Amino acid sequence: MDVDRYSTGRNLHYEVFVRYTVDGLEFESTTDDYTFGMRTGNTVKIYYDRNHPFHVRVRGLPYETAVLLVAILFLGSIDLLFCRRLIGQIKEERKSKKPKSAAP
């Protein structure tokens, strides 16, 4: 497997070159199914059309999806920390506003 990366303006694109054997015949094909963590020389699982073995797909988590997932998790954890801090402040304010009962 080999991975080529190129940009068109502000967009980043990947082209994955794979070499595989079907029924003793060797094929080389390309796909844009770049998945997070792919590197030149890696072994990947591919899926091909039995009637057209040069049509391949690579299964995995697409790069854009992985980046989006990481961003959501990161922002979600920041939001969670902020909410916990805010709730803690509200509890402290309520404690300080409670009237102290006088002893009889």
Residue 104 included in any domain: no
- Using DSSP, state whether 72 is helix, strand or coil: helix
pLDDT band at 66 (very low <50, low <70, confident <90, very high): low
Q: Are residues 38 and 54 in the same domain?
A: yes
Are 73 and 36 members of one domain? no
**Do 78 and 47 fall into the same domain?**
no
**How much is the pTM?**
0.46
Q: Which two tokens stand for residue 72?
A: 């959501």
Is 79 part of any domain?
yes
Residue 75 C-alpha from the chain's centroid: 14
Instruction: List the domain range (segments joined by +) for residue 50.
Output: 2-58
pLDDT-derived band of residue 63, with 50, 70 and 90 as boundaries? low
Phi, psi angles (nearest 5°) of residue 58: -110, 130
User: Considering its fold, how many domains does the chain have in total?
Assistant: 2
The more confident residue out of 64 and 45 is: 45
Separation of first and last alpha carbons in the chain: 83
Note whether 53 and 6 are same-domain residues. yes
Rounded mean pLDDT, 60-65: 60
Closest to 2 measured CA to CA, from 70, 14, 48, 26: 14
Q: Encode pLDDT of 4-58 as tens digits.
A: 776 777 887 778 888 888 889 998 888 877 776 777 887 878 888 888 888 887 7
* 93 located within any domain: yes
